Structure 1
Amino acid sequence: MRLVIDKQEIRFLDLTWSGSKYNAARQVSFTYPSKIGYAISPGSILTLHEGNRTLFEGIVFSKQISNKSHEMNVVAYDRLIYFLKSEGSYNFKTTTVGNVIKKVAADVGVPVGSIADSETSIKLDSMISMNLYEVILQAYREVKNKTKIVYMPVINGGKLSIIKAGETVSDFSLENGINLLDSSFGESIENVKNKILIVDDKGNRVGEVKGDGLSQWGTFQGVYQKEEGKNSNTEAKSLLHGMDLEASVEALGNINCISGKAVTVLDPTTKLKGLFYIDEDTHYWNRGQHTMSLQLNFKNMVDDEL
């Protein structure tokens, strides 16, 4: 593992590389002895390499020294952070999703790489003071409605790319007794919505849709207001949400196991068996050892964002 900042190769003590569907920008944080005089400041370019592969390219956002440990802690994010921390106003009307991505990226000076289904025609309402990452998500929600494919924004080689989510980590599985160190499994109804009222523009009920668990869990109700040109039942059903099935694992590290991908797990103890989607990943390097923590889900939960 090589860490480079502005052409300086950094000898770090420990390093964490992480990502999550809940916080799109991937992050690197690391420590090094503060007595070493590395030239690092906010805005420095940081790259992380494994062999010939560049895992991360981003910008240093903060550094902090500890008097007790005599260590410097540095945090960097990839360029998706610019979309998360910026706003814009647009009136795209009918255009292609590729045009939307190029325009939004140009506004924050981020180059564009490959854009999945870039020629798909979409229609967007006017957007005023909208978060730029939300603009991207909104554009790809429209694409998903046509293609039924889930997409996710990523930074590859310093460029914004839009890829199809849920790709399985090939030729790899997490197995008890081999590379799986620990695992847990849980069920939760915290986010259940199993009844959606359909109302008109005056709030009058004009219909409803129902989901699972009404007799078992009780009623968790939401409301959908009819929209012109949209099928009310279809839109209301999209708001239904069943029981969440979640799992987490601790394992020996594999750099291909990152949020947005899927991995096979085989653990008889917790009865985790099958294909799981990675919601969050945290990779640790300490004294040459690479381990990882993965938050998993039974379905492609990137779909909740797009």
Structure 2
Amino acid sequence: MSATWSGTDTQCSRTLEFSIASNHHDKNFKNLKIKLGDIVRLYVGNKRVFLGEITTIERTGEKGSASIKAMDFMNHLLKSKTSRNFRNTSAENITRSVCKEIGIKVGDIEKTKINIPKFYPREEAYYNIILGAYRKASKQTKKKYMPTMDGTRLCVIEKGTESGVLLSQDESILSSSYSKTLDSMVNQVVIFDEKGKRTGVIKKDDWVKKYGIYQETITKEKGVNSKTAAEALLKGIEQSASIEALGNIKATSGKSIKIRDKGTGLTGRFWITSDTHTWENGIHKMSLELAFKNVMESVSVNTETEEQKSSSNTKTDNEKINKIIETAKSFQGKVKYKMGASNPAGGVSDCSGFTQYVYKTAAGINIGRTTNEQVKKGSKVEKANLKAGDLVMFKNTYNSGYSYGVSHVGIYLGNNQFIHCSSGAGTVTISNLAGSYYVQHWLMGRRIAK
């Protein structure tokens, strides 16, 4: 029997996948009676590390095994929606209120003591409401927050706290990789007024001197501090790293970890963005994706103003984008990659079939069937300006013969992550744009939903 326990620092529901022996041809074989919704617990030694519900059971007609997938109770907050009106309250009180509404118990949650004057989420996932409220508080506290589950209780922790884990090349690291790239660098931003007249420039002199100019532009908008907006566009060297090591259950997404690895030069404190722990043949191993900065998950919450609150019934662009992302993530790990297929709901698809289905189903937008069609839809977006819901296009992953050499496509989620139906993973999975493979094959972004 093997088991995989995994999670990421975005959409923070943890997953447990395992297989059990199954033989429905032999009457003497005692098959375990497992049903959807059954509760599953995972213990490592005497410590319970997972409590969740079975969401997927996959059996074949042949002798062998059944594959089981369970998700923790955060799944209810991710998949359920509500509309609420909040006035003069805090993120912690908003969290308690929405959790009570959906029947989720609340454990330890960070106290911000920050008053939020008005917050009117509309047809929004409970998870996004909680995260959106804490993001508002984060602007004043300067802290970063992350929802997580402790059994049946929702907790909100300060993201980036130390895990207490130290990995070194001599003891626990099995393999490692590290990459850095200038592909998304913006070291100078020119500010223009509404008439196209240049009014200012924001730049990083040391970056310009060392690497030359990588320039972006911005146009002044009423009510927006153009200097602050320009500074927000500056972007330096992107770095990414991954580690495979002997397992330690303390190393989970959202926590920080210390590494000493002479082979890659990775030394110091890093933040775990994705973790996958596997147990097989009595050996516990883990694969970690690492970030060089502690970044709070971004979220686009569909809200209404005071004036719109009683009159607006139209579906906003934010709603479309959220629906696109929600629909795409609902297929994670559930679709088998098959070249030429385009039926994610039926369990098989290739990359462009997956993006076509998601856009059509979630937003009613027809982007075409192939990457050759999709690379011509919408407007081109540079990597530095990507927004959630954009298509991300790659070239020369194989010889497609298509325009620009385009050969692979996914959907951008934010925080440098994208979701795609991958031939390498064999399913729908989430990957990082800063990974060396995706840096090498990057082509462009395309903005379809605005």
Under TM normalisation by the shorter chain, which class is it? Answer: 0.7 to 0.9
Alpha carbons of 1:100 and 1:269: their partners in 2 closer, same or farther (altered >3 Å)?
Answer: same
Name the counterpart of 1:52: 46
In 2, the alpha carbon distance for the partners of 1:224 and 1:53 equals 55
Does the alignment pair 1:110 with 2:104? yes
Does the alignment pair 1:187 with 2:180? yes
Tell me which of 216, 219, 225 is aligned to 1:221: 216
- Deviations along 1:74-130, whole A, 9 cap, x unmatched? 111111112221222122132111221012222322111111015332234422122
Name the counterpart of 2:386: none
Name the counterpart of 2:244: 250
Q: Which moved more, 1:76-85 or 1:268-277?
A: 76-85
Does the alignment pair 1:21 with 2:9? yes
Does the alignment pair 1:120 with 2:108? no
Name the counterpart of 2:444: none
Instruction: Mark the runs of 5 or more structure 1 residues left unpaired by the alignment.
Output: 1-12
Alpha carbons of 1:183 and 1:110: their partners in 2 closer, same or farther (altered >3 Å)?
Answer: same
Percent identity, please.
33
Name the counterpart of 1:142: 136
One-letter amino acid matched to 1:182: S
Tell me the CA shift for residue 263 of structure 1: 0.8
In 1, the alpha carbon distance for the partners of 2:219 and 2:125 equals 23
Tell me which of 49, 64, 74 is aligned to 1:70: 64
Tell me the CA shift for residue 52 of structure 1: 2.5
In 2, the alpha carbon distance for the partners of 1:193 and 1:177 equals 38
Written as runs of structure 1 = structure 2, the 5 A alignment for 1:1-306 is 13-35=1-23, 36-68=30-62, 70-170=64-164, 172-194=165-187, 209-210=202-203, 213=207, 216=211, 219=214, 221=216, 226=221, 228=223, 232-302=226-296
Name the counterpart of 1:5: none
- Deviations along 1:172-229, whole A, 9 cap, x unmatched? 311112111000000134554555677899999876644585673754637587575x
SS of 1:128's partner is coil
SS of 2:14's partner is strand
In 1, the alpha carbon distance for the partners of 2:200 and 2:87 equals 30
In 2, the alpha carbon distance for the partners of 1:272 and 1:121 equals 41
| Structure with the bigger percentage of strand | 1
TM-score, scaled relative to structure 1: 0.84
In 2, the alpha carbon distance for the partners of 1:208 and 1:124 equals 35
Q: Which moved more, 1:179-188 or 1:51-60?
A: 51-60
Kept in 1, the 8 Å contact 2:179–2:240? The answer is yes
SS of 2:248's partner is coil
Alpha carbons of 1:91 and 1:203: their partners in 2 closer, same or farther (altered >3 Å)?
Answer: farther
In 2, the alpha carbon distance for the partners of 1:84 and 1:225 equals 36
| Structure with the bigger percentage of helix | 2
One-letter amino acid matched to 2:135: R
One-letter amino acid matched to 2:179: G
In 2, the alpha carbon distance for the partners of 1:43 and 1:205 equals 60
Kept in 2, the 8 Å contact 1:278–1:294? The answer is yes
In 2, the alpha carbon distance for the partners of 1:130 and 1:225 equals 31
Q: Which moved more, 1:233-242 or 1:110-119?
A: 233-242
Kept in 2, the 8 Å contact 1:152–1:260? The answer is yes
Tell me the CA shift for residue 302 of structure 1: 3.3
Kept in 2, the 8 Å contact 1:168–1:262? The answer is yes
SS of 1:143's partner is helix
Alpha carbons of 1:164 and 1:287: their partners in 2 closer, same or farther (altered >3 Å)?
Answer: same
Tell me the CA shift for residue 235 of structure 1: 5.0
Paired residues in the alignment total 292
Cα RMSD after superposing both structures: 2.9
Bigger RCO of structures 1 and 2 (CA < 8 A, at least 6 apart):
1
SS of 2:48's partner is strand
Alpha carbons of 1:73 and 1:247: their partners in 2 closer, same or farther (altered >3 Å)?
Answer: same
In 2, the alpha carbon distance for the partners of 1:221 and 1:133 equals 34
Alpha carbons of 1:31 and 1:148: their partners in 2 closer, same or farther (altered >3 Å)?
Answer: same
Instruction: Mark the runs of 5 or more structure 2 residues left unpaired by the alignment.
Output: 24-29, 300-414, 416-450
SS of 2:33's partner is coil
